[in-house]
Chain A
Amino acid sequence: MLKQKNNMFDPLFRWTTLGGSLVVLVLVAGILLTLINGALPSLEKFGVGFLFSQEWNPAINEYGALSSVYGTLVSTLIAMLIAVPLSLVIALFLVELAPPGISRVVGGAIELLAAIPSIIYGMWGLFVFAPFLADHVQPKLAAIAPGLPFFTGPPMGIGMLSAGIILALMILPFITSVTRDVFQMVPSVVKESAYGMGSTTWEVTRKVTVPYGIQGVVGACFLGLGRAIGETMAVTFVIGNSHEISASLFSAANSIASTLANEFTEAADDVYLAALIELGLVLFGVTLVLQIIARWWLRRTAKKMGAVR
């Protein structure tokens, strides 16, 4: 009787899970095909040049993705540069140093941050953070580094820098909470033996906790990266939305997602619409390339630090 039941449930289980996984593949393939199909008029008209042209002019129907791709990559880079080290520090504090009470409160706060919808970050960025940045941070940055092209131009508070910082705040809770969980899984036996051998907290952190969790940490970072690269509303609010590439981080810029959010509704012309869909396709491609790099890097770090396991 029991055996029969197992016989029935095993295949059922297998087919259900297989079906579920197939849905994902079908979805991805479907999205890709729809994007290519929708982008056809633009693909035919602009070819590969679409990727390298900075022109974006709906009045004469000329489109290029360069400024949007540049904005997407640079704002994401700024976000990662700020969020990754900060997340690591917070996670290590929570796991290694903080008293359990504080750890619980801060941990809860971080999870709350992760649940805030992106439009709120956008509104807060535009009405609260950008004015603060313009009045107190940007003039100082410009004064500290007068020669650098990154910090020139009028301090408006909106632009590439603000977008990067807002993105950093948005992905911070994701990276932190996953990293914290990873560090918590380091067996205490390993850590205690290190302490037993006379290691300091710093040494245990550097030589035991971090190497043990590095794969999970890299995974967490790419989770954050994925969110930053496709983030739409918050970025649209604060990036300034200009189709110009500028070396200054104070200048208005745009990203693929913000261009789509801004221009999709009123794109009546076929080529215009196709160009926007092709931007979506480019984002799809960029994400894929980053995924591949992530996998490769993950395998490399695993090999390098794998000695611990």
Chain B
Amino acid sequence: MLFQMTKKLTTMLLTLTVLVTFSGVAMASTTINGAGATFPYPVYGQWAYLYNKETGVKLNYQSIGSGGGIKQITAKTVDFGASDAPLTSDKLDAEGLLQFPMIMGGVVPVVNIPGIKPGGIKLTASTLSDIFLGEITKWNDPKIAADNAGVKLPETAITVVHRADGSGTTWIFTNYLSKVSKSWQEKVGNAKSVKWPAGVGGKGNEGVAAYVQRIKGAIGYVEYAYALQNKLTYALLQNRGGSFVAPTSTAFQAAAASAEWSKAPGFYLVLTDQPGKESWPITGASFILVHKQQKDAATIKAVLDFFDWCYANGGPTAEKLHYVPMPQNVVDLVQAKWNQEIKVGGQPVWK
């Protein structure tokens, strides 16, 4: 009797110990650490919250900027880095990193012209670049008027507003201007912060928005979500297909649909100036960076599980926050790369 009871108790204790140990291990090993871009932070944060509720896995994401994200993943202090601008395949190879697109969004030119309502002014690639080059200085310039028959344009001076801080938004915007304007490419170029030929700089999307709302005759550029939330006066842009389009989720998706991700080594692809009648010309993706050679299978598996969950279930959340989720064919391409490239001791982690 006594013997049996002891045995029972021992079994119970043992089970309990095992349970506690296991849950302890599970708790400890499943915090994912990431750092980088600020632009996708709202959606990453929301995904992390939902994923945590479902699985108990925690995501610790520091939105310190793409530059910091690249630095930290290179130094291996985080499990993944995030960057708004893609790294070239040379750089990826040099550091042994794998890059894949996670989410897309659009950049929108916003204006403050007396008498002009949202969507009330049309800009072409050449007028937009001439304005930002400081070559068109008045809103009633004949070049702008040519595309806006019937719109009463005031003689107000144009004040260009740009980002003062380095930012992925600026990278996407200047990437577009470099593609469509030769003189922009020669004089200014494509970077996260550039030597602006004209205008004033605001800090962050909110700084640019505040300046544009404040200064009569101003034109600036902000993230789509930001323009929408603040009800800013956006301009229609002419795309490569020749039609003037308004910034909408549909227009971003159209730009993404025509992108040929399969032909981009290291997923180095920028969605600016894409073909298609519906495409919004200034669209961009935000990227995740992980090391190809991993030491700990459990950690990298947790990271990939999280992103897999985001691809599969994150769409509605992203759309609610005015981001554009990646289409399924791109997700398949990305996951094929996970399988081929991410390895622990020569063995693939993702199957």
The stretch among A106-114, A123-131, A173-181, A289-297 that forms the contact with chain B is A123-131
Q: Which of B166, B167, B201, B217 contacts A252 (CB 8 A)?
A: B201
Q: Which of B70, B165, B210 contacts A262 (CB 8 A)?
A: B165
B193 engages A154 (CB within 8 Å)? no
B159 engages A154 (CB within 8 Å)? yes
A262 engages B192 (CB within 8 Å)? no
B65 engages A265 (CB within 8 Å)? yes
Is the C-beta of B64 less than 8 angstroms from some C-beta in chain A? yes
B-chain residues with CB within 8 Å of residue A262 when the two chains form the complex? 164-166, 193, 201, 203
Main DSSP-derived SS at the A contact region: loop
B164 engages A236 (CB within 8 Å)? yes
A268 engages B201 (CB within 8 Å)? no
A59 engages B190 (CB within 8 Å)? yes
Q: Which residue of B lies closest to A127 (CB)?
A: B210
Task: Give, as a whole number of angstroms, the nearest-CB distance from B181 to chain A.
Answer: 14
A130 engages B196 (CB within 8 Å)? no
Number of CB contacts from chain A to chain B under 8 A: 97
Is the C-beta of B211 less than 8 angstroms from some C-beta in chain A? yes
Q: How far, in whole Å, are A131 and B214 apart by their CA atoms in the complex?
A: 7
- Could you tell me which residues of chain A, from 242 to 287, have a CB within 8 Å of some CB in chain B? 242-243, 252, 254, 258, 261-263, 265-268
Q: How far, in whole Å, are A263 and B207 apart by their CA atoms in the complex?
A: 14
B164 engages A241 (CB within 8 Å)? yes
B-chain residues with CB within 8 Å of residue A252 when the two chains form the complex? 199-201
B200 engages A242 (CB within 8 Å)? yes
Is the C-beta of A58 less than 8 angstroms from some C-beta in chain B? yes
Q: Which of A134, A156, A258, A266 contacts B65 (CB 8 A)?
A: A266
Q: How far, in whole Å, are A266 and B168 apart by their CA atoms in the complex?
A: 9
Binary CB contact string for chain B from 65 to 94 against chain A (1 if under 8 A, 0 otherwise) = 111101100000000000000000000000
B-chain residues with CB within 8 Å of residue A243 when the two chains form the complex? 195
Q: Which of A156, A237, A258 contacts B159 (CB 8 A)?
A: A156
Q: Which residue of A lies closest to B190 (CB)?
A: A59
Is the C-beta of B119 less than 8 angstroms from some C-beta in chain A? no
Is the C-beta of A96 less than 8 angstroms from some C-beta in chain B? no
Q: Which residue of B lies closest to A267 (CB)?
A: B67
Q: Which of B168, B202, B214 contacts A134 (CB 8 A)?
A: B214
Is the C-beta of A60 less than 8 angstroms from some C-beta in chain B? yes
Main DSSP-derived SS at the B contact region: loop
Chain A interface residue count, CB cutoff 8 Å, equals 32
Task: Give, as a whole number of angstroms, the nearest-CB distance from A122 to chain B.
Answer: 9
- Chosen A-B contacts, 6 in total, with CB atoms closer than 8 Å, are A58-B194, A126-B210, A236-B164, A242-B200, A252-B199, A262-B193
B71 engages A154 (CB within 8 Å)? no
B195 engages A236 (CB within 8 Å)? no
A-chain residues with CB within 8 Å of residue B136 when the two chains form the complex? none
B193 engages A241 (CB within 8 Å)? no
Is the C-beta of B180 less than 8 angstroms from some C-beta in chain A? no
A-chain residues with CB within 8 Å of residue B190 when the two chains form the complex? 59
A-chain residues with CB within 8 Å of residue B259 when the two chains form the complex? none
Q: Which residue of A lies closest to B216 (CB)?
A: A154
A-chain residues with CB within 8 Å of residue B196 when the two chains form the complex? 242
B-chain residues with CB within 8 Å of residue A267 when the two chains form the complex? 67, 166
Is the C-beta of B191 less than 8 angstroms from some C-beta in chain A? yes
Q: Which residue of B lies closest to A155 (CB)?
A: B215
Q: Which of B192, B201, B215 contacts A58 (CB 8 A)?
A: B192
A-chain residues with CB within 8 Å of residue B153 when the two chains form the complex? none
A236-B203 in contact given A57-B195, A126-B210, A262-B165 (Cβ < 8 Å):
yes
- Could you tell me which residues of chain B, from 111 to 167, have a CB within 8 Å of some CB in chain A? 157, 159, 164-167
Is the C-beta of B32 less than 8 angstroms from some C-beta in chain A? no
Is the C-beta of A56 less than 8 angstroms from some C-beta in chain B? yes
Is the C-beta of A182 less than 8 angstroms from some C-beta in chain B? no
Q: Which residue of B lies closest to A55 (CB)?
A: B195
B-chain residues with CB within 8 Å of residue A237 when the two chains form the complex? 203, 207
Known contacts A58-B193, A266-B68; 10 additional CB pairs below 8 A are A58-B166, A58-B194, A126-B210, A156-B214, A156-B215, A243-B195, A252-B201, A265-B38, A266-B66, A266-B168
A241-B200 in contact given A59-B195, A268-B67 (Cβ < 8 Å):
yes
A241 engages B203 (CB within 8 Å)? yes
Q: How far, in whole Å, are A268 and B201 apart by their CA atoms in the complex?
A: 20
Q: How far, in whole Å, are A235 and B89 apart by their CA atoms in the complex?
A: 39
Q: How far, in whole Å, are A158 and B38 apart by their CA atoms in the complex?
A: 26
Task: Give, as a whole number of angstroms, the nearest-CB distance from A247 to chain B.
Answer: 17
Is the C-beta of B34 less than 8 angstroms from some C-beta in chain A? no
A-chain residues with CB within 8 Å of residue B194 when the two chains form the complex? 57-59
- Could you tell me which residues of chain B, from 176 to 234, have a CB within 8 Å of some CB in chain A? 188-196, 199-203, 207, 210-211, 214-215, 217
A-chain residues with CB within 8 Å of residue B174 when the two chains form the complex? 59
Q: How far, in whole Å, are A52 and B67 apart by their CA atoms in the complex?
A: 27
A266 engages B67 (CB within 8 Å)? yes
Q: How far, in whole Å, are A127 and B210 apart by their CA atoms in the complex?
A: 8
